[in-house]
Amino acid sequence: MTPSEILSKITWDAETDPATRQSVEDAILRLTGGNRPTFDSMTVHHRLEKFVAQAGSANKAAVKLGIGKSFMCDIRAGNRPVPDSVLHALGIEKVRSKDLFRDR
């Protein structure tokens, strides 16, 4: 059974946390030898929001990432692209196009 076949057999409850679902799907891809998972910009945004929540505030997260507070605000609002340094801190690397990312 291929990784995509396994993933297609999973039925997710509507209340399943998106981060949990993503973690499970990533683990299945890794365990089955599939390519590293590819994410869209919404998933990257979700990871950034999780990082902000763990830091305690957007200002604290910006300091940890080495970016300005207003730049962080622009990234979160979707007014600026997520720079490679922030992607690296989130454990993601950019591939091929602006909407494709993967785990490092």
pLDDT, tens digit only, all 104 positions of the chain: 777 788 888 888 889 888 888 888 877 777 766 556 667 788 888 889 999 999 999 999 999 999 999 999 999 998 998 888 898 888 887 765 555 556 66
Q: How much is the pLDDT for 38?
A: 66
Structural domain includes residue 57: yes
The pTM of the whole model exceeds 0.85: no
> Within 13 Å and on the Cβ side, how many CA atoms surround 95?
12
Q: Is the residue at 58 inside a domain?
A: yes
Helices marked H in the chain — which ranges? 3-9, 18-31, 41-55, 58-65, 69-77, 84-89
Residue 4 lies in a domain: no
* Domain assignment of residue 8, yes or no: no
Q: Domain residues for 47?
A: 42-91
The number of folded domains in the chain is: 1
pLDDT of res. 100: 58
Burial zone of 48 (CB within 10 Å; 0-12 exposed, 13-18 middle, 19+ buried): buried
